[in-house]
Amino acid sequence: MTTLITNIKELLQVREAGIVKISGAEMAILPTIKNAYLLIENDLITDFGSMENMSGLKTDNVIDATGKMILPAWCDSHTHIVYAGNREQEFVDRINGMTYEEIANRGGGILNSAKKLNETSEEEIYQQSKERLEEVMRLGTGAVEIKSGYGLSLEGEVKILRVIKRLSKHYPITIKATFLGAHAIPLQYKENRKAYIDLIINEMLPKIAENRLAEYIDVFCETGYFTVAETEQIMEAGVRFGLKPKIHVNQFNSIGGIQAAIKYNALSVDHLEVMKPKDIMDLKNTETMPVALPSCSYFLSIPYTPARAMISAGLPIALATDYNPGSTPSGNMNFVVATACIKMKMTPEEAINAATINGAYAMGVSDTHGSITIGKKANLIITKPIESYYQLPYAFASNLIDAVMLEGKYLT
């Protein structure tokens, strides 16, 4: 089955094969073709170019995209969308003056979600999670990483990872699973944190690895959660079981988590709201992708990742949603891109690079996702008629998506 899309006003993020991430000053460049065509065979992009050079293409379908732009579907490399229930009460408590930390310290926060998750059946968690996944697909996300971390027990963590696996079998969106047993210390282990870390390393990890339930390992490395030494111990065990680290660091404090993650060759370090100059320096010349989560900063009213300083230092940046019930109950990558432009002073070009090709790198799918490249998945956002792609972040609360195509098929 072949589909030809013609008269595309502008085809965004066109790249040669083999480019896996974009760093520093190069992030300001978004390669595009005006008045373009795009050819799709089954689930893959097989050709594209300027309309002037289009000739002799025989196809089953032709779609006219006059006035519309096409870009690769977003790659959301950091989410926690498999969870039970919501935390609206904590949202209101924060409006009334409590901090995220105060709520966590009284047993709310992650522990609140863990309680709900362990009381909810796997089927019900699947039903709730699939609604969220369908929503983010309609919002233009074509690849998503999903973390466990609301079980905090062997059964709970495995339950989440099984739901992730079931979602990935049923939907055309690419899903990568991350094991985040080290998201918080459960109440019953408060006086014996070593016992919980032993449970992660000696029971959860072997079971998860044996059943191939996750590809990545994550730890919430933060004051009041997991220390740098504990994070290293858990990463070391994860690596032994074949899981690559992707680590929550520097959300509230800079305590050395970045340096630890680099030591274990982490694929990404995520959050980065609080960065010391040394944190930026140490990320230079590494293979670790810094990931910013601006809708988390927005929702919690905490600092934004210092993107300008990082890009000036030559670093790449990826953007992701962090979709979760506590700090970011939204999986809207369009909003993330707009917020990165408005609050982090990223240009539209930098933000689109960060949300597509660099996002793909941060979840290990840049061979197949994140750009308009021959041989990559036909995962596309087709916009409504727009004047320029600046309108995507400019009209920050509008939905400018006309259609989403995943693996060569329109979402209905």
Q: Which of 156, 186, 316, 325 binds ligand NIG (CB under 6 A)?
A: 325
Closest to Fe ion by CB, 145 or 322: 322
Angle between helices 333-344 and 348-355 (to 10 degrees): 140
Q: Which of 296, 315, 351, 386 binds ligand NIG (CB under 6 A)?
A: 296
Distance CA 298, CA 339 (A): 8
CB contact set of 301 (below 8 Å; sequence gap of 6+): none
Which range binds ligand NIG by CB under 6 A, 26-34, 107-115, 125-133, 239-247? 107-115
Min CB(59)–Fe ion separation in Å: 42
Closest to ligand NIG by CB, 100 or 264: 100
Q: Which of 113, 250, 305, 379 binds ligand NIG (CB under 6 A)?
A: 113
Helices (H), 65-203: 88-95, 100-105, 110-119, 122-138, 154-170, 193-199
CA 381 to chain centre: 17
Examine residue 148 and tell whether it contacts ligand NIG (CB under 6 A). Answer: no
Which positions touch Fe ion (CB under 5 A)? 322
List residues bridging with 49 in a β-sheet.
37
Which range binds ligand NIG by CB under 6 A, 131-139, 324-332, 375-383, 385-393? 324-332
Closest to ligand NIG by CB, 27 or 197: 197
Closest to ligand NIG by CB, 151 or 326: 326
Min CB(271)–Fe ion separation in Å: 7
Min CB(322)–Fe ion separation in Å: 4
408 binds, among ligand NIG, Fe ion, none (CB under 5 to 8 A by kind): none
Q: Which of 72, 109, 294, 331 binds ligand NIG (CB under 6 A)?
A: 109
Closest to ligand NIG by CB, 322 or 350: 322
Instruction: Look at the alpha carbons of 124, 127, 128, 133 in this order and tell me if their dihedral is positive or negative.
Output: positive
Beta strands in 225-354 (DSSP E): 244-249, 268-271, 289-292, 318-319
Distance CA 408, CA 239 (A): 35
Min CB(110)–ligand NIG separation in Å: 5
User: Which residues between 215 and 254 bind ligand NIG (CB under 6 A)?
Assistant: 220, 248, 251
CA-nearest of 234, 231, 236 to 255 is: 231
Min CB(97)–ligand NIG separation in Å: 18
CB contact set of 92 (below 8 Å; sequence gap of 6+): none
Residue nearest to ligand NIG (CB): 326
Closest to ligand NIG by CB, 75 or 110: 110
Closest to ligand NIG by CB, 125 or 296: 296
Distance CA 304, CA 283 (A): 18
Min CB(180)–Fe ion separation in Å: 8
Closest to ligand NIG by CB, 233 or 328: 328
Closest to ligand NIG by CB, 14 or 204: 204
* Residue at 360: amino acid letter: A
Min CB(200)–ligand NIG separation in Å: 16
List residues bridging with 85 in a β-sheet.
none
Cβ–Cβ < 8 Å for 330, 356: no
With b meaning 16 or more CB within 10 Å and e meaning fewer, what string describes 233-271? Answer: bbbebbeebebbbbbbbbbbebbbbbbbbbebebbbbbb
Min CB(238)–ligand NIG separation in Å: 17
Closest to ligand NIG by CB, 196 or 220: 220
Residue nearest to Fe ion (CB): 322
- Write 105-109 long-range contacts (CB < 8 A, 24+): 105/224, 107/187, 109/184, 109/326
Cβ–Cβ < 8 Å for 109, 103: yes
Distance CA 124, CA 115 (A): 15
Min CB(87)–ligand NIG separation in Å: 7
Examine residue 257 and tell whether it contacts ligand NIG (CB under 6 A). Answer: no
Which range binds ligand NIG by CB under 6 A, 108-116, 121-129, 161-169, 384-392? 108-116
Distance CA 300, CA 124 (A): 28
Which residues of the shown chain bind ligand NIG in the complex (CB under 6 A)? 109-110, 113, 220, 248, 251, 296, 322, 324-327
